[in-house]
Structure 1
Amino acid sequence: MTTPVGATQIEIAKFRCYVVPSDSDQTYLLEVRNDESARKYLAAQASKITIDLPSQFLDKADIFSETVNNRLANAFSQVNRLKKMSSLLADLLDSALEEEISQHLMAVLNQIKEAEQATAEAFQALLKAGKPS
């Protein structure tokens, strides 16, 4: 049950490392802010992030506790929100105001954190649910 959510965690971590490398190099962020094609590429990469909920969740959600259901639903929502926010950033033309582009970019960066946190919480909830009492 944890594998799909764990895979999503890895995808988001890879995406985060691509967007904001661990060495704090902001070259890519500047490119995204200044270049429409870089924004479109970022959105294309974000669109590849998937969260496949466990089939048990889709078939029989009542087998999970309310906490697990809530965590899974939140993770699903946050990942989809990341994709949507990245898409909105990609829709901004180079002629858009720099401040508007920067605000959208900051929203995407914050959403990466939100999606990472939500998937981590869902993963932990699934792990806890899978342990015998």
Structure 2
Amino acid sequence: MKTPKTWAALLITGKDLDITRISNLLNIDPNFSHSPGENPNNKDIGYWQLNSTLNDSEIIENHLWDLLKKLAPVRNQLKEIHKEFEIHFYCSVEFSNSGIDSLKLGPRLLSLIGNLGVSLEITRWAGKELQSTDISLL
């Protein structure tokens, strides 16, 4: 039985997003970022992304815990940033085994994500079809 491949990231997006300011407030360097005007596909939006550092064979819950451990010391700063910009956890799950078609997130994890006031988006790959579900925990 093959385990689904998984991945998670925290995304901060918005107009007038200052990448350096976000990095300084959180004392974390992003894994990927671009300022407004740098992305030809979405010229007005800035983008700051922090990836989970775990292997894609880990369950999605572990990826989210990895991110939360990095963000716990700066959770108050994250809440302040959220007053100006969109913040959400983005998760992707590739179901490569047709016998596995669901995932489970524990109540403590969901409570901590909810306390941050950010959304949780889970994108599911089933074969070649991509399905996205936005779960708001507000």
TM-score with structure 2 length normalisation? 0.32
Larger Rg: 1
**Which is strand-richer, 1 or 2?**
2
The structure whose RCO (Cα within 8 Å, separation 6+) is larger is: 1
TM-score with structure 1 length normalisation? 0.33
**Which is helix-richer, 1 or 2?**
1
